[in-house]
């Protein structure tokens, strides 16, 4: 379902899930300088991205955001609440994205994310250093 970030409750739920999810990634990659980890709710609301979310009995379980660059779906964020890990939420979110070529980036030391993307047909296209000792891996997936 599309998330309406003009709704304060939805915005707060997303902001909370995002902070929890990126805190897990920060721990995995040994770097807490991930920009969305420090984003304010107002900055999140102003993001020029389309957000999709999945709810469970406890609230927002996960979300994905993307931008369209021509026919390419550029995945900006994929976050899952830690209480919902290993329940297929991220897979469902990836499958809910529009058809077409897709791009995404994640911390090179974030093995759970890299495994998920590889399992879903993404291939690594490069790696770049974003801070001393911290690399990001870029991945793409052709039409699914």
Domains in the chain, ordered, with CATH?
Answer: 8-141 (3.40.630.30)
Contacts of 79 (CB under 8 A, 6+ apart): 17, 18, 20, 21, 22, 62, 63, 64
pLDDT at 143 over 90: no
Q: What mean pLDDT is predicted for residues 40-47?
A: 97
pTM of the model: 0.93
């Amino acid at each position: 379902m599309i998330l309406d970030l003009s709704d304060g409750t939805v915005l707060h739920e997303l902001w909370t899930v995002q902070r929890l999810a990126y805190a897990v990634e920060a721990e995995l990659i040994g770097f807490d300088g991930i920009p969305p980890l420090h984003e304010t709710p107002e900055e999140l609301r102003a993001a020029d991205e389309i957000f999709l979310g999945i709810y469970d009995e406890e609230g927002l379980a996960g979300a994905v955001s993307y931008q369209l660059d021509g026919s390419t779906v550029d995945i900006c964020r994929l976050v899952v609440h830690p209480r919902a890990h290993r329940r297929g939420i991220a897979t469902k979110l990836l499958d809910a994205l529009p058809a077409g070529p897709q791009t995404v980036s994640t911390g090179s030391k974030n093995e759970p994310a890299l495994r998920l993307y590889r399992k879903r047909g993404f291939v690594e296209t490069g790696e770049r250093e974003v801070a001393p000792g911290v690399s990001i891996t870029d991945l793409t997936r052709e039409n699914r």
